[in-house]
């Protein structure tokens, strides 16, 4: 641990820059592109999925070795919470009204 | 903007508040300068990354916030004592119940518990600090500056006045154009960074830094409850972060997430808020359960009854806590099917909670109870909390909730669970671990006075409120009618008794500092878990030799075998993190940015944001490796502390 390498973390910089670009593309798609609403929704969803993948692979140690199953464990629980959040909100906010 | 728009004007009580703030700040600056303590303050406290000192700062801040929000409560009770009181006007009353609720939850209950976790958890698992000490300091300072941002609102800009739940559309830009609501959003956002980081930090600490031999099911129960609490924090707080961000964008940049116009969904705020809000309830109660379990096991001098069942009931409560949020807005009108489902999940939570109550009773059964102050808080908790829990099940029945909703019945219920659970828990924990933090016990006689004043006052305050609710008194009214008369003054008397109890508690801190006997050993209460194996005061590195754990109640078993954790032949140099001023400076910059955003001074806020990013970059290139404490120094410290 005494001598940590001080070279640039090139992977992280690429990931960060791509994320920023994708975010700006999404903002442009939503605010400046004049696409039909359905296409805006589809395109920003696609951009979101790409960005999530970048986060997971470049930052979240998903492909790093020696982490045990901790990342998978957290992703499992995160997915469950996510499912509750989405399904639960739809259920309570859209169904059952008289 | 004129200066008289910037400061709140025209309220004698608020002028008094301004004078008090000026005097206290002046007094602090004067004392620090007079005793030449500035350097000491910076070196020992503002830049520390030591979990014990950070924990003490958390608890001190929480006590200050308890005082502030408690004063709010007393003002409310004064206003409600008799019909047509004109102590507070409607606007001021709205502001005060909003700040009371928000401060008590975010800036009192959570920091108090997180402070206790900070101090106790690394000691209980045989660790030398948190997994990320730097982040821990950052957590504290972002909480602290968030709390300060919220607290300046009543003299600068005006306090938020839409209730602690901040429901839209009332909290939206159209109906609350003043900066008050922005204070709420940004203060919670800023302190939320700290809470989330603490959750991650504690989770990693507990997973990775336990002493060798301590498997998950040999962890002390307080550590277990902290662990589960961190899980809830990590999964629930992002929801609040997003909801707050959406409302901030609504208010400052004119979007329509929660507005009435432009296809916004005002009830979506309530939905998101309670998706975080219900797990939040368990964030503040589960650690208190852990504290009571430790206190009861120690002073009943028995192993905790049903340890495994206790752990599993915490896990089940945590899981269910994510499935009940709709019971906070049954009256939204989502229909019988939706409400029935959430009614059932709500009542299901009573089962694991009941299991815990019976386990505590079984631990007490046929034991030789030492009625110390800490134990008395724990004993008072069991019946008081049960009353709160039973009325909670009543509220959980959707049909009945249409009657109870937003009445004083609800107010009484959540004060019964939050005060009897969390506040009693905080007091029990503080009294119990006080000798570990400060090297002397709190005086028992004065402690019992504060206990009785507070507990009797608590029941006098809130038991009548159940009946006021059944008499139809709604929450958040600032005038009562004569029909509610006899019970309201009684409730007010109780509130002042609680205030007196708190004052006696604080006096006890001063009295004990002056007069209490200093601790000779580290084991003040004949404890069972590893924190009592360290000498008092706890050295910077906690454990000179990392202990080896073979059973639950590790230290108790060591004592039975006549062992200690210290073995001079095994002392090696210890690697510790360095102090750093970065977390303090970075949080101060974020405070500045948030403050600018409150008043919608966008370019100042951007400047603050750039400052924050610069601090992050500085941190990224910071290769500070910490320092080593050499073995001779450790031996000297341990010898003098252990009297060898």
- Each residue's pLDDT tens digit, A43-62: 999 999 999 888 888 877 77
Q: Do A4 and B335 touch (CB under 8 A)?
A: no
Residues of chain A with C-beta less than 8 angstroms from the C-beta of B335: 95-98
What average pLDDT does chain B have?
93
pLDDT classification of A97: cutoffs 50, 70, 90: low
Complex-level ipTM = 0.81
Number of Cβ within a 10 Å radius of residue B195: 25
Confidence class of residue A2 from pLDDT cuts 50, 70 and 90? Answer: very low
Q: Which chain A residue lies closest to B625 (C-alpha atoms)?
A: A2
Asked if residues B82 and B480 have their Cβ atoms less than 8 Å apart, the reply is yes
B55 in Cβ contact with B121 (< 8 Å): no
The answer to whether the Cβ–Cβ distance between A70 and B338 falls below 8 Å is no
What is the spatial distance between Cα B183 and Cα B95, in angstroms, rounded to a whole number? 12
CA–CA distance, B199 with B4 (Å, rounded to integer)? 41
CB contact under 8 A, A78 and B235: yes
Which residues of chain A neighbour B324 with C-beta distances below 8 Å?
A: none
What's residue B306's pLDDT? 92
CB within 8 Å of chain A, chain B residues 207-246 = 207, 231, 235, 239
Q: How confident is the model at residue B375 (pLDDT cuts 50, 70, 90)?
A: very high
Question: Residue range B550-555: average pLDDT?
Answer: 88
Nearest to B641 by CA among B534, B558, B504: B534
Q: Which of B325, B616, B628 to mutate to test the interface with A (most CBs of A within 10 A)?
A: B325
In a mutational test of the B interface, the residue from A85, A86, A91 whose CB has the highest number of chain B CBs within 10 Å is A85
Q: What is the least distance, in Å, from the CA of A13 to any CA of chain B?
A: 12
pLDDT at A1 > cutoff 50: no
In this structure, are residues B424 and B350 in contact, taking their beta carbons and an 8 Å threshold? no
Predicted local confidence at residue A3, as pLDDT: 46
Mutate: best of A41, A87, A92, partner B, most B CBs <10 A: A92
Pairwise CA distance, residues B419 & B440, whole Å: 26
Is the pLDDT assigned to residue A11 strictly greater than 90? no
Which residue intervals of B475-530 are DSSP H helices?
487-515
Q: Which pLDDT value is given to residue A10?
A: 81
- Range 288-347 of B in CB contact (< 8 A) with A: 322-323, 325-326, 333-339, 342
Give mean pLDDT, residues B174-192.
Answer: 94
Minimal-distance CA residue of chain A relative to B204: A70
**pLDDT per position as a tens digit, B310-367:** 999 999 999 999 999 999 999 988 888 899 999 999 999 999 999 999 999 999 999 9
More confident residue, A93 or B296: B296
The C-alpha of A97 sits at a distance from chain B's nearest C-alpha, in angstroms, of 5
Answer whether B271 sits within 8 Å of A1, measured CB to CB: no
Residue A63, pLDDT above cutoff 50? yes
CA distance B319 to chain A (A): 10
In this predicted structure, what is the pLDDT of residue A5? Answer: 56
Q: How far is CA A10 from CA A6, A13, B147, in A?
A: 11, 5, 38
Beta-strand (E) ranges in B274-325? none
Residue A98 has pLDDT above 60, yes or no: no
E strand spans, B324-473: none
Res. A4: pLDDT tops 60: no
Q: Which residues pair with B407 in a beta bridge?
A: B474
Going by pLDDT thresholds of 50, 70 and 90, the confidence category of residue B184 is: very high
Task: Sketch the domain layout of chain A as residue ranges.
Answer: 9-64, 66-98
Cα torsion angle, B396, B398, B399, B404, sign = positive
Q: Which residues in A have their CB inside 8 Å of a CB on B?
A: 1-2, 4, 6, 70, 77-78, 81, 84-85, 88-89, 91-93, 95-98
Q: Identify the pLDDT of residue A74.
A: 81
- B98-102, B283-287, B335-339: which range is least confident on average? B335-339
- Side-chain half-sphere exposure of B317, counting CA atoms within 13 A: 26
pLDDT tens for A79-90 read 999 899 999 998
């Amino acid at each position: 641990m005494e001598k940590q390498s001080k070279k640039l973390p090139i992977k992280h910089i690429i990931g960060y820059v791509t994320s920023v670009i994708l975010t700006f593309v999404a903002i442009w798609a939503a605010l400046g592109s004049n696409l039909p609403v359905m296409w805006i929704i589809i395109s920003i969803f696609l951009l979101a999925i790409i960005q999530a993948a970048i986060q997971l692979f470049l930052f979240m140690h998903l492909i790093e070795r020696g982490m045990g199953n901790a990342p998978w464990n957290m992703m499992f629980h995160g997915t469950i919470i996510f499912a509750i959040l989405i399904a639960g909100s739809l259920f309570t906010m859209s169904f059952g009204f008289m | 903007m004129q200066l008289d728009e910037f400061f709140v004007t025209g309220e004698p009580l608020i002028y008094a508040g301004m004078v008090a703030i000026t005097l206290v700040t002046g007094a602090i600056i004067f004392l620090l300068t007079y005793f030449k303590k500035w350097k000491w303050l910076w070196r020992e406290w503002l830049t520390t990354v030591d979990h014990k000192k950070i924990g003490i700062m958390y608890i001190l801040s929480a006590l200050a916030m308890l005082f502030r929000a408690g004063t709010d409560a007393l003002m409310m009770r004064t206003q409600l004592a008799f019909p047509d009181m004109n102590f507070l006007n409607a606007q001021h009353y709205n502001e005060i119940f909003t700040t009371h609720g928000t401060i008590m939850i975010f800036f009192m209950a959570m920091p108090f518990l997180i402070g206790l976790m900070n101090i106790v958890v690394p000691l209980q698992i045989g660790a030398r600090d948190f997994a990320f000490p730097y982040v821990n300091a950052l957590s504290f300072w972002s909480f602290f500056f968030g709390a300060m941002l919220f607290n300046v609102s009543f003299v600068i800009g005006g306090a938020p006045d839409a209730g602690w739940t901040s429901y839209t559309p009332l909290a939206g830009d159209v109906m609350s154009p003043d900066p008050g609501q922005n204070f709420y959003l940004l203060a919670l956002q800023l302190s939320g960074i700290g809470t989330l980081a603490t959750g991650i930090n504690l989770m990693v600490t507990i997973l990775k830094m336990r002493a060798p031999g301590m498997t998950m099911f040999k962890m002390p129960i307080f550590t277990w409850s902290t662990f589960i609490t961190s899980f809830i924090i990590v999964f629930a707080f992002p929801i609040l972060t997003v909801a707050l961000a959406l409302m901030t964008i609504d208010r400052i940049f004119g979007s329509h997430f929660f507005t009435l116009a432009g296809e916004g969904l005002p009830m979506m705020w309530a939905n998101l808020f309670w998706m975080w809000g219900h797990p939040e309830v368990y964030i503040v109660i589960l650690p208190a359960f852990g504290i009571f379990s430790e206190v009861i096991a120690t002073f009943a001098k028995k192993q905790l009854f049903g340890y495994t069942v206790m752990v599993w009931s915490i896990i089940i409560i945590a899981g269910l806590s994510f499935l009940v949020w709709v019971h906070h807005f049954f009256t939204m009108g989502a229909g019988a099917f939706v409400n029935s489902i959430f009614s059932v999940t709500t009542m299901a939570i009573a089962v694991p909670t009941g299991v815990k109550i019976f386990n505590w009773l079984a631990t007490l059964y046929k034991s030789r109870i030492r009625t110390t102050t800490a134990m008395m808080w724990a004993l008072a908790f069991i019946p008081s909390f049960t009353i709160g829990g039973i009325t909670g099940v009543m509220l959980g029945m959707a049909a009945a909730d249409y009657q109870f909703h937003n009445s004083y019945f609800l107010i009484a219920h959540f004060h019964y669970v939050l005060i009897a659970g969390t506040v009693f828990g905080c007091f029990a924990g503080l009294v119990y671990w006080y000798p570990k933090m400060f090297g002397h016990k709190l005086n028992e006689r004065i402690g019992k006075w504060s206990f009785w004043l507070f507990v009797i006052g608590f029941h006098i305050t809130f038991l009548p409120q159940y009946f006021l609710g059944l008499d139809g008194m709604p929450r958040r009214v600032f005038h009562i009618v004569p029909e509610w008369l006899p019970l309201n003054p009684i409730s007010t008397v109780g509130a002042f008794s609680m205030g007196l109890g708190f004052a006696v508690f604080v006096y006890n801190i001063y009295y004990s500092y002056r007069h209490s006997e200093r601790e000779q050993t580290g084991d003040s209460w004949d404890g069972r878990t590893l924190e009592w194996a360290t000498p008092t005061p706890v050295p910077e590195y906690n454990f000179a030799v990392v202990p080896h754990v073979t059973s639950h109640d590790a230290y108790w078993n060591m004592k039975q075998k006549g062992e200690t954790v210290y073995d001079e032949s095994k002392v090696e140099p210890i690697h510790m993190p360095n102090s750093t001023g970065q977390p303090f400076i970075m949080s101060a910059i974020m405070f500045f940015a948030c403050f600018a955003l409150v008043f919608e001074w966008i370019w100042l806020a951007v400047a603050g944001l750039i400052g924050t990013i610069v601090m992050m970059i500085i941190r990224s290139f910071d290769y500070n490796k910490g320092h080593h404490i050499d073995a001779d120094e450790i031996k000297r410290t341990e010898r003098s502390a252990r009297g060898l």
